[in-house]
Amino acid sequence: MLHRRPLFPAAFALAALSLAAFAQQNAAPASVPTGESLGPYYPTPDSIVDRMLQLGALKAGEKMFDLGSGDGRIVIMAAGKYHADATGVELDQNLVRQSSAKIKSLGLSGTARIIFGDVMKQNYSQANLITVYLLPKALPQIQAMLEGQLKKGTRVVAHDYEIGTWVPVKSETIPDEEGRAHKLFLYIR
């Protein structure tokens, strides 16, 4: 008499292996940032970008970081017009691709770059200037993180929202081309 083994354990094992392989193939790569979005993508008008960099007194050769760099317009202007060493940090992979391609097409790859990552997991200790346009609820987290990293004299320019409990050394309200008022805050650590 021929003994047949039940198919259930073999079928179960095969299904489990298939499911594990599917999960591994569809899992996010280890290099994909896992941070939460601290603000929606909302482009800053070029005139406001320029004023942010002026307010922050950005000089040629200085290191600047844009937290949540979106399409890279602040990084591009900082590197192109102000000749700074500019870095953006962005969590949206499509925006990283778009801004990186624009940086390359403008020939700014030597002084401008976009990091695909979580703004809360970067090192800003070499920054001379930081620009921030994030949601108000995110700014206390940003404040705590920056307080642990920034060197004395680092300038921070925030767009529309004040940063936690910091007191700005200067603030101004300026209109854009469409008449919308933008509030800018300058902090010096």
For residue range 100-149, list pLDDT tens digits in order.
Answer: 999 999 999 999 999 999 999 999 999 999 999 999 999 999 999 999 99
The DSSP result for 47-108, as a single string, is: HHHHHHHHHTT--TT-EEEEES-TTSHHHHHHHHTT--EEEEEES-HHHHHHHHHHHHHTT-
DSSP classification of residue 9:
H
Per the DSSP assignment, residues forming a β-bridge with 159 are 184
Per the DSSP assignment, residues forming a β-bridge with 185 are 158, 171
Q: Give the pLDDT confidence score for residue 162 in this predicted structure.
A: 97
Radius of gyration of the chain (CA): 23
Tell me the helices (H) and strands (E) count for the chain, helix number first.
5, 7
46-188: CATH topology is Rossmann fold (3.40.50)
Task: Look at residue 12 and tell me whether its pLDDT is greater than 80.
Answer: no
Task: Look at residue 7 and tell me whether its pLDDT is greater than 90.
Answer: no
DSSP classification of residue 111:
T
Specify the pTM.
0.80
Average pLDDT over residues 79-83: 98
Instruction: Identify the residue with better confidence: 150 or 29.
Output: 150
Q: Give the pLDDT confidence score for residue 137 in this predicted structure.
A: 92
Closest CA to 179 of 91, 48, 90, 86: 48
Q: Give the pLDDT confidence score for residue 15 in this predicted structure.
A: 38
DSSP classification of residue 44:
P
Q: Give the pLDDT confidence score for residue 26 in this predicted structure.
A: 38
Q: Give the pLDDT confidence score for residue 41 in this predicted structure.
A: 78
